[in-house]
Amino acid sequence: MILAQNLCFRTIPTTCIIVKHQKEPHQVNPVTQTKTKLCECFDLHKELIPYGKAWSWQKQIVKEKKTLVQRNEDCPDTLIVLQHDPVYTMGTGSSEKYLNFDIKEAPFDVYRTERGGEVTYHGPGQLVMYPIINLRNHKMDLHWYLRALEEVVIRVLSSTFSIKASRTEGFTGVWVGCDLGNQKLAAIGVRVSKWITYHGLALNVNTDLTPFSWIVPCGLRDRQVGSIKGLLQESQLSTRCGEADTSNSDDCELIDISYRSLIKEFSEVFQLEICQKAIPMSELLTENN
């Protein structure tokens, strides 16, 4: 059964803490800014959030940002980082031929969304980033935005885990090449409405990859799916001077290390000052009818 979604989501009171970072040169360069822009970050990277709740929340934030733009008021960027309960999501034009099960007897909920791309899986051990940003403040170019998201993941894998990852021409996402089986570690699917982005990227950290075998991930039959933990175990990466010791990290620590690296690289690629915001879980998980 494919689920639609029509939940309401109310604004959540927050507390802001500024996290500063040092900028470095990077390959994907936004439009030069005269001053550093702020990005509010809702950190739920240790939490399992139902997909429907997160989807509704994103759309509410997008609606609020559109209103700010119409009023010619300041429209700060937003970043949500979380994990999901097991779920399959499909893009607006996704085909059910990429589901290896009867849709009426799906192993998990299946959501058809307005993002681009084919079917993918979200679940525990996968960090999902939802940037809800105003591309007017960066570069009004969807291709640039997709390449920038890829750049964030490529930097995380290289700088924190010594994993050499790359793009694959003609496809969106991040792969580790032939030596490790050409595995896809990060899927990207976005929606842009009046230059406000939502949906985003999913990075497999220590995800159970079994549910990916029940679909054709992203509609690519000749590509494998991998995880950071799996690659670390397979390649037996050793700690190098100045790098995080990740080869023997437990699952929770690996999630934390990956989250910190994602935030750092996101802030540098998009030239944003991250403003952490606390979220009362009771508010997040309360359905407002």
Q: Is 218 a catalytic residue?
A: yes
Catalytic-labelled residue, pool 39, 41, 218, 275:
218
For residues 107, 109, 110 and 116, what is the CA-based torsion angle, rounded to 10 degrees?
-120
The answer to whether residue 3 is domain-embedded is: no
How high is the pLDDT of residue 248?
56
Q: Residue 244 above 50 pLDDT?
A: yes
**Count of domains forming the chain:** 1
Give which of 251, 259, 240 is closest to 156, Cα–Cα. Answer: 259
Q: Residue 230 above 50 pLDDT?
A: yes
How high is the pLDDT of residue 21?
46
Q: Taking CA 144 as the corner, what is the angle to CA 218 and CA 225, rounded to the nearest 5 degrees? A: 25
How high is the pLDDT of residue 246?
57
Q: Residue 155 and residue 171: Cα distance in Å, rounded? A: 18
Tokens 């709740």 belong to residue = 53
Burial label for 181, CB within 10 Å (0-12, 13-18, 19+), is middle
**How far is residue 284 from each of residues 5, 10, 171, measured CA to CA in Å?**
16, 9, 34
pLDDT tens for each residue of 38-82? 999 999 999 999 999 999 999 999 999 999 999 999 999 999 999
Give which of 178, 161, 175 is closest to 229, Cα–Cα. Answer: 161
What's the pTM?
A: 0.86
The answer to whether residue 110 is domain-embedded is: yes
What is the CATH classification number for the domain harbouring 194? 3.30.930.10
Q: Taking CA 84 as the corner, what is the angle to CA 118 and CA 28, rounded to the nearest 5 degrees? A: 60
Tokens 């170019």 belong to residue = 141
Mean pLDDT of 233-251: 62
Q: Residue 25 above 50 pLDDT?
A: no
Using 50, 70 and 90 to split pLDDT, how confident is the model at 279? confident
The answer to whether residue 287 is domain-embedded is: no
pLDDT tens for each residue of 116-172? 999 999 999 999 999 999 999 999 999 999 999 999 999 999 999 999 999 988 899
For residues 24 and 200, the model is more confident at: 200
The answer to whether residue 91 is domain-embedded is: yes
Domain housing 112: 37-278
Q: Report the percent of the chain where pLDDT is more than 90.
A: 72
The answer to whether residue 7 is domain-embedded is: no
Tell me the pairing of strands 77-84 and 126-132. antiparallel
